[in-house]
Chains A and B, each alone.
Chain A
Amino acid sequence: GAVVSQHPSWVICKSGTSVKIECRSLDFQATTMFWYRQFPKQSLMLMATSNEGSKATYEQGVEKDKFLINHASLTLSTLTVTSAHPEDSSFYICSAPIGAGGYNEQFFGPGTRLTVL
């Protein structure tokens, strides 16, 4: 199957700093990628849809200035958590579908654990 990677897998940062998380489709092109947030023992919550070459679409309640998304190429989307605070500590997962129409199977990255001190 297709592979989606995330980097880093685990990051610890100080409060007030910014952290960038990368999501790459390794063997396919993805015009769309999705970013999720997952708290311990909870489900995945969709944060935003990343669109190659255009602005991301954010879900209600997600601060677009806090969580900056850039989809600069067909294989890379980045999520930057700006001025991170302890409440931003979470597990962040990206996914990418192959194809653009109808139904297309999604492939998930392994996730990034963010800890803000």
Chain B
Amino acid sequence: AQTVTQSQPEMSVQEAETVTLSCTYDTSENNYYLFWYKQPPSRQMILVIRQEAYKQQNATENRFSVNFQKAAKSFSLKISDSQLGDTAMYFCAFILNNAGNMLTFGGGTRLMVKP
């Protein structure tokens, strides 16, 4: 079974600063995808960024980038130039390829961006 662990229940960052959220996962499979989802106070889940395990290059989406270390099974999210609207719960998630699209979520990190 796959597990996803987020070791930081809560974090805070000053507006315009950079913050990194940690995520580790455990799997014996080799073909999978990793995601970071954002859940703002509205509670609507929003996909932030996706990483294919077969790709060595780290994914980036504007101010969001990941540090994917496959051997270490680590998948951290870096948010640059933090904005007040980034305040939310962030969930790391994992999905096996060809496994019925079933997502496994980490416990979440609550991020507060302070003005």
Contact = CB atoms under 8 A, between A and B. Distances in A.
A13 interface: no
B101 A44 contact: no
Contacts of A44: 45, 91, 105
A69 interface: no
Contact of B105 (A43, A49, A102, A103): A43
B108 A104 contact: no
A61 interface: no
Contacts, number: 49
A104 B102 contact: no
B30 interface: no
B44 interface: yes
Contact of A32 (B42, B101, B106, B108): B101
A110 B105 contact: no
Instruction: Name which of B45, B50, B103 has the most chain A CB atoms within 10 A of its CB.
Output: B45
Interface string B14-52: 000000000000000000010000000011110100101
B97 interface: yes
Q: How large is the interface on A (under 10, 10 to 19, 20 to 34, 35 or more residues)?
A: 20 to 34
Grouping DSSP codes into helix (H, G, I), strand (E, B) and loop, the A interface class, with mixed when no group exceeds half, is strand
A97 B102 CA distance: 9
A93 B97 CA distance: 23
Contacts of B47: 105
A54 to B, nearest CB: 13
Contacts of B103: 34, 46, 95, 106
B65 to A, nearest CB: 19
Given A42-B107, A42-B108, A102-B97, A49 B45 contact: no
5 cross-chain pairs, A with B, having the tightest CB-CB distances, nearest first = A108-B45, A97-B101, A43-B105, A43-B107, A43-B108
16 contacts: A32-B100, A34-B102, A34-B103, A41-B89, A42-B108, A43-B106, A49-B100, A93-B43, A95-B103, A97-B101, A102-B98, A103-B52, A103-B95, A103-B101, A104-B101, A105-B47
Interface of A: 32, 34, 38, 41-44, 46, 49, 91, 93, 95, 97, 101-106, 108, 110-111
Interface of B: 33, 42-45, 47, 50, 52, 89, 91, 95, 97-98, 100-103, 105-108, 110
